Amino acid sequence: MTSRRPIYYNPAALNERITSPRIEGLQAFHQSFPDYAPTPLVQLPQLAAELGVRNVLVKDESNRFGLPSFKVLGASWGCFRAIAAKLGLPATVSLKDLSIQAKAESIVLTTATMGNHGRAVAFMARLLGIEARIFVPECMDQGTRDLISGEGARIIVVTGNYDKAVQSALDESRLKEGVLLIQDTAFEGYEDVPAWIVEGYSTMLNEVHDGLAELDLIGNVMISPAGVGSLAHAVAKHCKSQSLPLSMVAVEPDTAACLSSSLAAGKMVTTQSSETIMDGMDCGTVSSTAWPDLQRLVDACVSVSSYEAHCAVQYLTSNSVAAGPCGGASLAALRHLAKEESAILNKDSVVVLLSTEGARQYSIPRDVSVEDAVGLTQTLTQINSSNPTLSLTDGVGETEIANWLASWFAHRDIEYHWIEKVTGRPSIVGVLRGSEDGKSLMFNGHTDTVSLSSYEADPLSGSIQIRDGKEAVLGRGSLDMKGGLAAALAALAATKATGRVPRGDIIIAAVSDEEDASQGTQEVIEAGWRADAAVLPEPTQAGIITTHKGFIWVEVDILGVAEHGSDPSEGEDAILYAGSFLQALEKYQSQLRIDEALGQASLHCGLIRGGEEPSSYPDKCTITVEFRTVPAQTEESILNDMGKLLKSIAEQNARVRYAQPRITMSRPTQKIPVDHPFVRQSLATASSVLKSEPVVKCGPFWTDAALLGAVGIPSIVWGPAGDGLHAKEEWVEVESLRQFEKVFTQLVQDFCY
């Protein structure tokens, strides 16, 4: 079984019929454009044979009036009708006369776009000789912006997403006289223009009908990209108005599945969207005018991943169809539909795919269908997520890995939340909601790694090789801790695939910045995320860590007097006086507290900074002392001890002066009783799956478990085996990953059901 988002089916649509006459003057309007010609309808016999259907044909919209998209059909008709209505002109007015009147009245066209629609509006404005102002979200790449501005339009970049761009374009049209909004998204009070845009797409659909007739074929399935719903609306009405109606299948990105979500909910819902290569389909809300017909007329709605769209683009390209990702989406949907037994496809099916855009550049996406722990570890390891705030590192941050995780959750229709208080340092929280008040379980795993520069070979390899006689996944972060996070993700996917809803929530917190300041987990906690228990799948060599030390960083300034090196009578050497403090610190560490479980607390001097140049007396020497703490130690007790130590030194040498010590970072200890019910449950689950009981032990390193424990979440640290933490080569054992996938899957069953 797979955990991916199910296809939405509407059996009632099979019997739906509507009357949708051809729009008066529409075809003649488009045929009056320079260089009009029907776009190709390309047959793919090999694909049809592979999928077990009679015919597969692709409507290739890679060149429509010199633009690489069908969008100009709707945008041009929408602009034409909107300007004519504004100026009180008949719908039969010629383009030439419309242009004269529009220029005389200083008409300006505006819209928001993710690409092709805005370019089409700009094209129409240029054709009419009037101004166009196109609002685009900040995520739009410069190349796409240049194509739009190349049509003569003015680009306005909006801080925010596509919906924010739509609002900005709407505000522009409301505030300035003569500015017409040409948007394909309908909302209350704005319905005429989107309806005209939908009408404009009929030219393409009539061409499909005529092309099938020329081939002596009768289509019975049409697959269309959805996006905001304008094209899908036109296609649905076309399909259900034929004498022999077609089944209408809509397709949208996993990461912007607003139509699927609305159909499943039985009402319009706004959904969260995230990164996709299907830019023109990246919409969070269905058009309000399209929704009633789509709900009634769509036979099936399929969501596809960016990777599936990319593979479809490659196939179409190999068959001489120049397609972009939105164009490939229809083929990706067909492949997914063909894998399922449904009433829509059979051996006699004649399938028409709408390839809605031509070839364009995009970043090649990674596959999100992988859901076994080993494959997930390889994928996560291949993504550079090195921490940018660690010393001597050129880290890139966690944005790319967070985008991939968001896509992975979306592919499975798993709720997720993007948390990013610091730009470029996002965390992702995915949650499989429980049905009632059962116990919730959190898996907390960090996505950042230490520097790649210290790695000897390819740090982003993710390859499987033999190490110490065992299969292992290699690469920076494979062990620390993408392998453990992968095992948790695999357990979530396995749970989702069963179709059984847990009683309690299952939460995956994929957090940033653990290798430095643990900003990610702190932000997750601040956002209010809690659970009845938590597992941090850090590399513990399969043992369960229930307790570990905390740490506190204390900065101490020893003060001197800056003076030329030739004047010892006035100069005071802060670095030299710091030696007294270091000697006293060495004696003090033997007196540090001892804990029964954790042993003696420890300290070391991690940093020392002082002086400006060799020829001057340094006026300050700053020493950073790290304390690895046990529960009996507190910030107050350590500061008090440091104060006493410094006072004692100053009393012995009046020339030694100092500033009050200060804490720059503090993290608590972690301790959960070994007989805690969650520890007992984890041991029992491991014993049942592995037929052996893990070792319960104390940890030598600090983890985010202490932060979770501090807010009342009982937490254990428990993860796979491997070697090379922060070293020149790092690897995680393949068999250990497989074992943890099984153990975590069973732990979810035992704890949350």
Q: Is 444 helix (H, G, I), strand (E, B) or coil?
A: strand
Q: Are residues 227 and 185 in the same domain?
A: no
Q: Is there a contact between 281 and 224 (Cβ–Cβ < 8 Å)?
A: no
Q: Within 479-518, where are the H helices?
A: 483-497
**Model pLDDT for residues 263-279, shown as the tens digit of each residue:** 999 999 999 888 999 98
Return d(Cα 504, Cα 429) in angstroms, integer. Answer: 16
Counting Cα atoms < 13 Å in the Cβ hemisphere of 21 gives: 3
Residues 657-677: pLDDT tens digits? 999 999 999 999 999 999 999
Q: What is the mean pLDDT of residues 285-298?
A: 94
DSSP state, residue 652: H
Which is nearest to 349 in space by CA: 300, 281, 291, 295? Answer: 300
Backbone torsion region of residue 2, taken as left when φ is above 0, otherwise alpha when ψ lies between -120 and 50, otherwise beta:
beta
182 and 89, same domain (yes or no) = yes
Q: Is residue 720 part of a domain?
A: yes
Which residue segment(s) compose the domain that 626 sits in? 550-668
- Alpha carbon dihedral 724, 729, 735, 741, in 10-degree steps, equals 70
One domain, residues 452 and 531: yes
Q: What is the pTM of this model?
A: 0.91
- Our separate counts of H helices and E strands in the chain read 23, 31
Would you state the structure tokens that stand for residue 73, as one six-digit string? 């059909």
Stretch 736-744: mean pLDDT, rounded? Answer: 98
Burial class (CB in 10 A: 0-12, 13-18, 19+), 339: exposed
pLDDT value, residue 736: 98
pLDDT at 694 over 90: yes
Residue 468's pLDDT is what? 96
Residue for token pair 């089944």: 247
Q: What's the rounded mean pLDDT across residues 152-181?
A: 93
Strand order from edge to edge, sheet including 131-137: 154-158, 131-137, 108-112, 179-181
Using an 8 Å Cβ cutoff, are 210 and 202 in contact? no
pLDDT (mean) for 484-511 = 97
Residue-level pLDDT at 375: 98
One domain, residues 301 and 348: yes
Q: Is the pLDDT of residue 21 over 80?
A: no
**564 occurs within a structural domain:** yes
Angle at 493 between CA 491 and CA 496, to 5 degrees: 110
Q: What is the pLDDT of residue 739?
A: 98
Report whether 312 contacts 188 (CB < 8 A): no
Do the bridges between strand 715-718 and strand 533-536 make them parallel or antiparallel, or are there none, so unpaired? parallel
Residue 150, SS3? Answer: coil
pLDDT computed for residue 316 by the predictor? 98
Q: Is 367 part of a structural domain of the chain?
A: no
Whether residues 227 and 343 fall in one domain: yes
Indicate the residue among 636, 668, 700 that finishes a domain. 668
Do 513 and 476 reside in the same domain of the chain?
A: yes
Q: How much is the average pLDDT of 26-36?
A: 88
And the tokens for 480? 């620390």
Residues 217 and 244 grouped into a single domain: yes
Instruction: Tell me whether residue 97 is in a domain.
Output: yes
Cis preceding-peptide flag for 204 (omega within 30 of 0): no
Q: Is the pLDDT of residue 576 over 70?
A: yes
What does the buried/exposed string (b/e) look like for 170-191 if buried means 16 or more CB atoms within 10 Å of the residue's CB?
bebbeeeeebbbbbbbbeeeee
Residue 292 host element (H or E): helix 291-297
Q: Find out whether 329 and 307 touch, Cβ atoms under 8 Å.
A: no
Q: How many domains does the chain have?
A: 4
Pairing state between β 131-137 and 427-432: unpaired
Mean pLDDT across 281-285: 90
Q: Specify whether 520 is located in the same domain as 507.
A: yes
Same domain, yes or no, for 693 and 597? Answer: no
| Domain harbouring 118, CATH code | 3.40.50.1100
Tokens of 77: 């008709």
Which has the minimum average pLDDT: 272-286, 682-696, 729-743? 272-286
CA angle, corner 677, sides to 436 and 739, nearest 5? 85
Look up residue 680 and give its two tokens. 């007992």
Distance separating alpha carbons of residues 355 and 695, to the nearest angstrom: 57
* Cα gap 696→675, rounded to integer Å: 11
The token duo for 572 is 């005071």
Which residue type sits at 51?
Answer: L
Q: What's phi and psi for 257, nearest 5 deg?
A: -90, 60
Q: Could you give the C-alpha distances from 403 to 34, 414, 709, in angstroms and in order?
A: 42, 14, 28
Tell me: the pLDDT tens digits for 637-653?
999 999 999 999 999 99
The answer to whether 221 and 249 have CB atoms below 8 angstroms apart is yes
Domain contains 400: no
Residue 546 has pLDDT above 90, yes or no: yes
28 and 120 fall within a common domain: no
**Range 442-465 average pLDDT:** 96
CB 45 within 8 Å of CB 225: no
243 belongs to a structural domain: yes
Last residue of a domain, one of 615, 636, 668: 668
Those residues whose C-beta lies under 8 Å from the C-beta of residue 399, and which sit 6 or more positions away, are 424, 426
- Please list, in sequence order, all residues whose beta carbon lies within 8 angstroms of the beta carbon of residue 40, skipping any fewer than 6 positions away: 59, 60
Tell me which amino acid residue 362 is.
Y
Whether residues 257 and 230 fall in one domain = yes
Domain with residue 734: its CATH number is 3.40.630.10
27 with 102, same domain: the answer is no
284 Cβ contact list (under 8 Å, min separation 6) = 161, 162, 163, 256, 258, 270, 271, 272, 273
Q: Does residue 209 lie in a domain region?
A: yes
pLDDT digits (tens, 9 = 90+) for 321-349: 999 999 999 999 999 999 988 889 999 99
What whole-number distance in Å separates Cα of residue 61 and Cα of residue 72? Answer: 10
Express as a percent the part of the chain with pLDDT over 70: 99
β-strand partners of 696: 544
Give the pLDDT of residue 343: 87
In a domain, 226, yes or no: yes
Distance CA 364, CA 281 (A): 17
What is the C-alpha separation between 457 and 94, in angstroms, rounded? 67
Integer angstrom CA distances of residue 90 from 97, 159, 385: 11, 39, 59
What pLDDT sits at residue 391?
Answer: 66
Whether the CB-CB separation of 52 and 348 falls below 8 Å is answered with no
Task: Report the SS3 class of residue 732.
Answer: strand
Computed on alpha carbons and rounded to an integer, the radius of gyration of the chain in Å comes to: 32
CATH number of the domain enclosing 621: 3.30.70.360
Mean pLDDT over the full length of the chain: 95
Q: Which of 418, 295, 361 is nearest to 147 (CA)?
A: 361
